[in-house]
Amino acid sequence: MNPWELIIQQPLINCLIVIASVFGGNFGVSIIILTIVINLAMLPLTLSQIRSSKKMMDLQPKLAELQKKHAKDKQKLAQEQMALYKETGIKPAGCLLTFVIQLPVWIALYQSIMLAMAIAPEGLLNLSSYLYHWEAVFNALPLSRSFLGLNLAEPNFILAIFVGITQWVQQKMAQAPSTDPRQAQQSQMMLWLFPMMFTLISISFPAGLPLYWVTNSIIRIIIQYKLAGWGGLSRKPKTDEGGRDKKYVDLISSAERKSTDEVGADIVITEQQQQPSKNRYLPGKDREKHRKRK
Amino acid sequence: MNQISRKKRRLSLTGKIFAVTVLLLVIGAIGFGCVKGLTAIGWSGGVVSDDTIYLGTQEGRLVAFNLTDESRLSAEKISAGSSGGGLFGCIPAGGGCAGGAGVAIYGTPYFTDELVYIAGYNGKVYAYNKENLATRWVYPREGYLEPIVGGVVVSDGRLYFGGSDGYVYALDAETGDFLWEADTRSEDYKRDKIWATPAIADGTMYIGSTNKVFYAFNTADGSRKWVFPTEGAVTATPLVVDGTVYIGSHDRYLYALNAADGTLKWKFMAENWFWAKPLLHDGKIYAACLDGKVYVLDAATGSKLNEFDLEEPLASDPVMHDDNVIFCTREGAIYSINTAQNSLRQLAVINEGKVEINGPLAIHDGVIYIHTSDLLLRRVNAETGAILSSLVLSFGE
């Protein structure tokens, strides 16, 4: 047994079997519980990932300003962006790093689920070499593959569709708006590519694997919602103006009309913006309203 | 100059993104790729009749080798069931998909005077003429049963086998006509896969199930004689000798039962599953276990007389050669236990762990035949341990 199997796979497989034995040998329940436990263990990493994404989202208006301000000087733009990231404590590579750290854990969980399911006779025979010498482990096998009317050893189309839907929702929630049209296009592509890819894989694999993916996505959706709300899912659809969010369009287009470089100012307030809006706080008027209420 | 350096910087950034993406894809592909053991490959053992060895290959066909002149014959490749191997070839449903190799065959062929029989993972049983391997009959003639993992056994003109659907079947061995089927489900026990080969003795069929129960059926009509519940799945082939049934279970026990009524005579506990069929010689049971040990037990009492640590899991049924019991580990180490001297000797190591050996061993004229997962039939001299030239089982497409 290699170190990966000994340190990661073997404990996970035995955990799956023990949990299943506690719940009457039900492997479906075991998959769900272990996925929840692993997610809880990874919570600090997940939280930092979501917080970083949220900060990135909040930073988009400032990034848009910078992009317009230094549209002609990419080097300056990069410097300013880095300075802004530093100032707000955002590490753009942090999200990727967190993902890279989490990846082996998800791979190990996937492998353990597939091994514990022992679909082919070879799989059952191989499983024997992973077992701890615990009575609960030996007596629990083979695990029941029946869960909520599903056969976890066979592909299930409905569960595969659920994988796609939950992954799309999760990604959409986590998606940061981008001021760069190319980047926005790429994000949009990824938003559809990954859920579709996982749906296709799920159609081909035993339903135990999609069950793990669906559980994982639902947990991520819940954490994401608790921490950052609906995120990208609640944002208004993007316009055709380079994939920008509508709420930034006015600001950007006004800036486009009058470059900041010409006036030498960091922020340009246009005539339109100087006019009072409905939501703007107006001292005199609001004081009057306040008196009337009294 | 400035433009060139900007371009270079942009390229290096693109390169980094590309490298990270490729790295993640590679990690993902390796990690989320097919896990070992998901694919049904098969491990049929060989059986020798009239100087010819018959076995089922991973290409999904029955092959016959003449051991005198090494000429070979092949039956028609058997076809997969209705369900395929899934988009990524990871689902063994319908007949295995080891890279699209063919229908997996697990059971060792069984022969009579005229016919050779095999059962496929596609859920069909086949009978071939011994002479030319032409198909005599197929059961079921249309459609497929659930995958068949255990072998078939013929006795008194009837062929018996168990299926992954949890039923045991009896067919007319001559014509393939259906005679009876028996359900393993009852009020007390749920139905689960049968992956074991049955044993027939004195009008009784003995077979274990993954529902953790060992059964005895009346061969005349399939009625249940008795059941013996264990704490683990039963996938081993039972050994029936002199009114006693010896059967290993995944609960780590080897049981000795009264063949007449299924009552327990004795049981012996090891450290892992018993997958292989035990062997009886001179009043002693030689039981290979997946814990890497061979246990020598008193056949009458079950008390342990000796144990040999082979250090690697044992799944193959052993064979007898003179006074020696020969075992093969899953990694390909072949050992001989001299029953007279009670000593262990390593005969040979084939392929040094690169292939898996799970199927039963065969022996003929002092040569051990081992079917390995690389489509070869390995040969080892049972006396000297000399590794002889292998027979190639692949016939291509």
> How close does chain A come to B51, measured CA to CA in Å?
30
In this structure, which amino acid lies at residue A250? D
Question: What is the pLDDT, as a whole number, of residue A268?
Answer: 42
Question: What is the pLDDT, as a whole number, of residue B146?
Answer: 92
Residues A91-109: pLDDT tens digits? Answer: 666 666 666 777 777 788 7
- Chain A CB contacts of B104 under 8 Å are 120
Residues A237-284: pLDDT tens digits? Answer: 544 444 444 444 444 444 444 444 444 444 444 444 444 444 444 444
Chain B's closest residue to A140, CA to CA, is B232
Question: What is the pLDDT, as a whole number, of residue B288?
Answer: 97
Which of B3, B20, B35, B189 is the best substitution to test chain A (most A C-beta atoms within 10 A)? B35
> How close does chain B come to A135, measured CA to CA in Å?
8
Q: With CB atoms and an 8 Å threshold, state whether A120 touches B41.
A: yes
| C-alpha to C-alpha distance for B313 and B334, rounded to whole angstroms | 12
Tell me whether B106 touches chain A (CB under 8 Å): yes
| C-alpha to C-alpha distance for B151 and B200, rounded to whole angstroms | 12
> How close does chain A come to B31, measured CA to CA in Å?
5
Mean pLDDT along residues A209-225: 88
Question: What is the pLDDT, as a whole number, of residue B19?
Answer: 63
Which residue in A248, A169, A178, A175 sits closest to A214, CA to CA? A169
Altogether, the residues listed in chain A come to a count of: 294
Percent of chain B topping pLDDT 90 = 75
Question: What is the pLDDT, as a whole number, of residue A68?
Answer: 78
| C-alpha to C-alpha distance for A118 and A132, rounded to whole angstroms | 16
Q: What is the DSSP letter of B340?
A: T
Mean pLDDT along residues B50-72: 92
Residues A29-80: pLDDT tens digits? Answer: 988 998 898 888 888 888 877 777 777 777 777 877 877 777 777 788 888 8
- Which residues numbered 326-365 in B keep a CB inside 8 Å of some CB on A? 330, 356, 358
> Has residue B63 got a pLDDT over 90?
yes
Most confidently modeled range among A1-15, A124-138, B152-166: B152-166
Which of A100, A122, A137, A186 is the best substitution to test chain B (most B C-beta atoms within 10 A)? A122
Q: With CB atoms and an 8 Å threshold, state whether B233 touches A206.
A: no
Give residues with Cβ within 8 angstroms of B26, minimum separation 6: none
Q: Which of B32, B231, B271 sits opposite A139 (nearest CB)?
A: B231
Q: Which of A75, A100, A110 sits opposite B6 (nearest CB)?
A: A75
Give residues with Cβ within 8 angstroms of B302, minimum separation 6: B254, B256, B265, B266, B267, B268
Chain position carrying tokens 């089927």? B181
Q: ipTM of this model?
A: 0.86
Q: What is the DSSP letter of A26?
A: B
> Model confidence at B94, in pLDDT bands (50, 70, 90)?
very low
Q: What share of chain A is helix, strand, coil (3-state, %, to 5)?
A: 75, 0, 25
- Chain B CB contacts of A114 under 8 Å are 35, 38
A–B CB contacts, 8 A cutoff, strictly below: 112
> Model confidence at B8, in pLDDT bands (50, 70, 90)?
low
Q: Which of B6, B86, B232 sits opposite A139 (nearest CB)?
A: B232
Q: With CB atoms and an 8 Å threshold, state whether A125 touches B28.
A: no
Residue pair B328/B45 in contact by the 8 Å Cβ criterion: no
Residues B215-259: pLDDT tens digits? Answer: 999 999 999 999 999 999 999 999 999 999 999 999 999 999 999
Q: With CB atoms and an 8 Å threshold, state whether B91 touches A133.
A: no
- Chain B CB contacts of A75 under 8 Å are 6
Tell me whether B274 touches chain A (CB under 8 Å): no
- Mean pLDDT for all residues in chain B: 88
- Chain A CB contacts of B40 under 8 Å are 120-122
Tokens at residue B222, please?
């399939």
Question: What is the pLDDT, as a whole number, of residue B117?
Answer: 97
Residues A151-200: pLDDT tens digits? Answer: 888 888 889 999 999 989 988 887 766 666 776 777 777 778 888 888 88
Mean pLDDT along residues B179-202: 94
- Chain B CB contacts of A133 under 8 Å are 271
Residues B282-334: pLDDT tens digits? Answer: 999 999 999 999 999 999 999 999 999 999 999 999 999 999 999 999 999 99
Percent of chain A topping pLDDT 90 = 7
Tokens at residue A62, please?
């400032």
Q: With CB atoms and an 8 Å threshold, state whether A155 touches B31.
A: no
Q: Which of A104, A126, A154 sits opposite B37 (nearest CB)?
A: A126
| C-alpha to C-alpha distance for B22 and B229, rounded to whole angstroms | 53
More confident residue, A268 or B261: B261
Tell me whether B1 touches chain A (CB under 8 Å): no
Query: B128 has which bridge partners?
Result: B116, B135
Cα within 13 Å of Cα(B168), Cβ side: 32
Which of A125, A152, A189 is the best substitution to test chain B (most B C-beta atoms within 10 A)? A125
> How close does chain A come to B271, measured CA to CA in Å?
7
Which residue in B335, B341, B339 sits closest to B310, CA to CA? B335
Chain B's closest residue to A199, CA to CA, is B87
Which residue in B27, B37, B86 sits closest to A200, CA to CA? B86
- Which residues numbered 198-217 in B keep a CB inside 8 Å of some CB on A? 210
Tell me whether B88 touches chain A (CB under 8 Å): yes
Q: With CB atoms and an 8 Å threshold, state whether B232 touches A141.
A: yes
> Residue B307 burial (CB < 10 Å; 0-12/13-18/19+)?
middle
Q: Which of B39, B88, B252 sits opposite A120 (nearest CB)?
A: B39
